[in-house]
């Protein structure tokens, strides 16, 4: 049976990272045939964390061999690994999970956390027989699957049974901004926070000509190494549907600068070059109320290449808008609308705070809304903002973002307050609906980008109990309604 739809879900885990990949066959009743997990950790949980993790565990149980085909740990930070045991133990309540492969960045010993009660997730997986020790792979130092001379990949980190879905090593265990890519036996056990993040695996998932880039906690040094490896004209990211913002949108490591200092022109250029290489249709940001993540300044350097809205929250008054939450670390002034002969004075958005803003930009944050704070309307990377038009219903605080690629290369997208079924609403209230998905036909993308989108109201059809949500067919032939 061939591969059908592939779902890539950026999961809300609070201040942390988790990306869950579901690979279905093309049967009339689709069956889950592979499950991949890219990181699974947090150091500040959101209210929806365990609902989302239970969904992952329940899906993993539907495989013929319950568990995961591969778990990828970008690096050893707690907020990328700490929830993995919960998911494995949840599966174990029913049957012992099998993890066929584990790929990890950084040094094995750095995965040991808590000096009082030491725990190492790699040891746990191997010692409990969940994965054979011979199937736990280090990515070694200064490594990549990319061949610059041919602008193509050689080798992979993981490949599906029918060879249609491939995970590539874009870069891993990078030790400097200009590494020798042949030096694969160097020590990767960093001693500083930046060094521990720098080695993060940047992985690319490819299916039907479409890619997804998952950046872990890549730093400015990591991005500089990628900039030197790839050219901005590389073809391997020509259909890159989504990139996760490096290190949850950290300004400090993204620009290699202390919080009190101005980012250098050189550091900004490194970020700009990295973003240009990725050519990301959309961006996902996984962060909560900690560490001043994500930085609006950093987000403003990663502008999605699809410039018209592909999702709208129907609860907002502003057409085609959804919420984004960011730490305001740039000077941003709001121009109120003219209500009389004289325009009211502009006001400055307070800096140093997490704020939510209505936006048409195709950037999506897992912390969806900050209640109790003034919102505004802002489209990245503009220099000014406008007053918020408000909302028509209570807004959920968190979100999971799901991307789908079909076998023909068509893409669709959805946003959910959590991953509990049915996946049809952005809030728990059954009367609150969201236009959560839209098919993006690659052949019509230029046309889409040149047109102004109009609001569209669609209520999704519920799947049969226990069936995966198929998010592509419902939007077939709907492109014209976005003119």
Residue 478 pLDDT class (50, 70, 90 cuts): very low
Rounded to whole angstroms, the Cα distance separating 131 from 446 reads 45
Nearest to 158, CA basis, from 102, 214, 202: 102
Query: Is residue 137 in some structural domain?
Result: yes
Query: Is residue 109 in some structural domain?
Result: yes
Nearest to 304, CA basis, from 245, 233, 368, 369: 245
* Average pLDDT for 235-264: 94
Instruction: Convert the pLDDT of each residue in 266-278 to its tens digit.
Output: 999 999 999 999 9
Question: What's the pLDDT score for residue 157?
Answer: 98
Same domain, 114 and 203: yes
Q: Point out the domain boundary residue: 341, 359, 387.
A: 387
Query: Is residue 151 in some structural domain?
Result: yes
Same domain, 232 and 343: no
Same domain, 335 and 289: no
Same domain, 109 and 50: yes
Residue 362 pLDDT class (50, 70, 90 cuts): very high
Question: What's the pLDDT score for residue 128?
Answer: 97
Same domain, 290 and 328: no
Same domain, 143 and 277: yes
Domain of residue 281, residue span: 3-295
Q: Considering only 345-354, 440-449, 472-481, which range has the smallest mean pLDDT? A: 472-481
State yes or no: pLDDT of 94 exceeds 90: yes
Question: What's the pLDDT score for residue 446?
Answer: 38
Query: Is residue 398 in some structural domain?
Result: no
Find the distance separating the first CA and the last CA of the chain, reported in whole Å.
37
Residue 334, phi-psi category: left (phi > 0), alpha (psi -120 to 50), beta (remainder): beta
Query: Which tops the pLDDT comparison, 475 or 277?
Result: 277
Number of structural domains (the chain) is: 2
Instruction: Convert the pLDDT of each residue in 326-361 to its tens digit.
Output: 999 999 999 876 665 665 678 888 888 899 999 999
Q: Point out the domain boundary residue: 332, 355, 387.
A: 387
Same domain, 141 and 244: yes
* Average pLDDT for 429-436: 34
Residue 259, phi-psi category: left (phi > 0), alpha (psi -120 to 50), beta (remainder): alpha
- Number of other CB atoms surrounding residue 251 within 10 Å: 23
Query: Is residue 478 in some structural domain?
Result: no
Rounded to whole angstroms, the Cα distance separating 3 from 23 reads 7
Query: Is residue 359 in some structural domain?
Result: yes
Say whether 296 sits in a helix, a strand or coil. Answer: helix
Query: Is residue 64 in some structural domain?
Result: yes
What mean pLDDT value characterizes the chain? Answer: 86
Same domain, 120 and 168: yes
Rounded to whole angstroms, the Cα distance separating 93 from 261 reads 50
CATH number at residue 36: 3.60.15
Same domain, 178 and 327: no
pTM for this model (two decimals)? 0.88
Same domain, 265 and 356: no
Same domain, 198 and 281: yes
Query: Which tops the pLDDT comparison, 58 or 477?
Result: 58
Instruction: Convert the pLDDT of each residue in 133-173 to its tens digit.
Output: 999 999 999 999 999 999 999 999 999 999 999 999 999 99
Q: Point out the domain boundary residue: 365, 387, 409.
A: 387
- Which segments of 282-392 does DSSP mark as H helices, in order? 296-299
Query: Is residue 218 in some structural domain?
Result: yes
Instruction: Convert the pLDDT of each residue in 29-80 to its tens digit.
Output: 999 999 999 999 999 999 999 999 999 999 999 999 999 999 999 999 999 9
Rounded to whole angstroms, the Cα distance separating 257 from 252 reads 5
Rounded to whole angstroms, the Cα distance separating 70 from 429 reads 36
Same domain, 205 and 254: yes
What DSSP line would sit under 9-43, residue for residue? EE---SSEEEEEEEEEE-SSS--EEEEEEEEEEES
What DSSP line would sit under 306-318, residue for residue? --S-S-B-TTBSS
What DSSP line would sit under 101-124, residue for residue? -EEE-S-GGGGEE-SSS-EEHHHH
């Amino acid at each position: 049976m061939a591969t059908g739809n592939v779902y890539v879900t950026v999961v809300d885990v609070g201040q942390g990272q988790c990306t869950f990949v579901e690979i279905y066959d093309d049967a009339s009743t689709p069956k889950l045939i592979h499950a991949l997990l890219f990181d699974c950790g947090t150091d500040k949980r959101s209210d929806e964390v365990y609902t989302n993790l239970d969904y992952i565990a329940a899906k993993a149980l539907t495989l013929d061999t319950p568990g995961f085909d591969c778990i990828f740990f970008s690096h050893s930070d707690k907020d990328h690994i700490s929830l993995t045991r919960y998911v494995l133990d949840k599966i174990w309540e029913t049957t012992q999970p099998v993890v066929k492969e584990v790929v990890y960045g950084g040094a094995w010993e750095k995965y040991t956390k808590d000096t009082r009660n030491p725990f190492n997730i790699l040891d746990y997986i191997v010692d409990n027989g969940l994965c054979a020790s011979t199937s736990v792979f280090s990515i070694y130092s200064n490594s990549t699957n990319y061949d610059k001379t041919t602008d193509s990949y050689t080798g992979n980190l993981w490949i599906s049974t029918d060879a249609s879905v491939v995970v590539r090593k874009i870069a891993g265990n990078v030790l400097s901004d200009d590494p020798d890519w042949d030096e694969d036996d160097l020590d990767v056990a960093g001693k500083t926070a930046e060094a521990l993040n720098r080695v993060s695996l940047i992985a690319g998932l490819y299916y039907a000509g479409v890619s997804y880039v998952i950046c872990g906690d890549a730093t400015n040094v990591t991005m500089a190494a990628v900039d030197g490896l790839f050219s901005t004209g590389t073809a391997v990211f020509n259909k890159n549907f989504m990139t996760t913002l490096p290190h949850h949108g950290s300004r400090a490591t993204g620009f290699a600068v202390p919080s009190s200092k101005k980012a250098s022109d050189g550091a900004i250029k490194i970020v700009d070059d990295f973003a240009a290489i990725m050519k990301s249709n959309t961006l996902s940001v996984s962060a909560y109320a900690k560490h001043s993540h994500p930085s609006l300044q950093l987000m403003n350097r990663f502008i999605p290449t699809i410039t018209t809205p592909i999702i709208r929250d129907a609860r907002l008054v502003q057409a085609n808008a959804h919420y984004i939450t960011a730490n305001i670390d740039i000077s941003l002034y709001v121009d109120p609308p003219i209500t009389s002969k004289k325009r009211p004075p502009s006001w400055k958005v307070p800096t140093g705070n997490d704020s939510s803003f209505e936006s048409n930009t195709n950037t999506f944050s897992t912390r969806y809304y900050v209640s109790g704070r003034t919102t505004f309307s802002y489209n990245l990377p503009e220099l000014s903002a406008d007053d918020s038009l408000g909302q028509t219903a209570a807004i959920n605080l968190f979100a999971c973002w799901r991307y789908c690629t079909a076998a023909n290369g068509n893409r669709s997208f959805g946003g959910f307050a959590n991953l509990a079924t049915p996946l049809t609403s952005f809030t728990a209230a059954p009367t609150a609906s969201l236009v959560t998905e839209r098919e993006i036909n690659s052949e019509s993308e230029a046309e889409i980008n040149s047109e102004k989108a109009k609001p569209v109201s669609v209520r999704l059809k519920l799947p049969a109990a226990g069936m995966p949500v198929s998010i592509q067919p419902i939007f077939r032939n709907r492109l014209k309604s976005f003119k």
